[in-house]
């Protein structure tokens, strides 16, 4: 599970991914949480029901974002090394 700091640091990107994954949530709903993972969990469970497995999906969402960010940074640094 990502840390609160990781979510806050990447909030603009994470927020957009949350809205795409859980499309019953509005931008205002998500922005009101200010990236607080516990508030996000409660919001998703309220809109989708308690059966929604927030932790697993949120972890996958953030992992794919953080991996993508790392991969992009690595590609850029590799590009600079080749020059």
| Sequence spans of domains, the chain | 4-82
Answer whether residue 73 shows pLDDT above 50. no
Q: How far is CA 31 from CA 16, 56, 60, 78, in A?
A: 10, 21, 20, 35
Determine the pLDDT at residue 77: 35
CA atoms of 1 and 66, how far apart (whole Å): 11
- Is pLDDT of 15 > 50? yes
The pLDDT value given to residue 52: 63
Please check the confidence at residue 79 and state whether its pLDDT lies above 60: no
pLDDT digits (tens, 9 = 90+) for 21-67: 899 999 999 999 999 999 998 999 898 887 667 888 888 888 876 66
**Torsion angle of alpha carbons 5, 11, 13, 14, nearest 10°?**
70
Predicted model pTM:
0.69
């Amino acid at each position: 599970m990502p840390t609160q700091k990781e979510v806050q640091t990447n909030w603009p990107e994470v927020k957009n991914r949350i809205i795409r994954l859980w499309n019953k949530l509005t931008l205002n709903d998500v922005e009101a949480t200010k990236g607080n993972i516990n508030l996000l969990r409660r919001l998703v469970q309220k809109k989708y029901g308690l059966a929604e497995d927030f932790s697993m999906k949120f972890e996958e969402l953030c992992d794919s974002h953080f991996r993508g960010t790392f991969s992009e940074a690595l590609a850029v640094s590799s590009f600079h090394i080749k020059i």
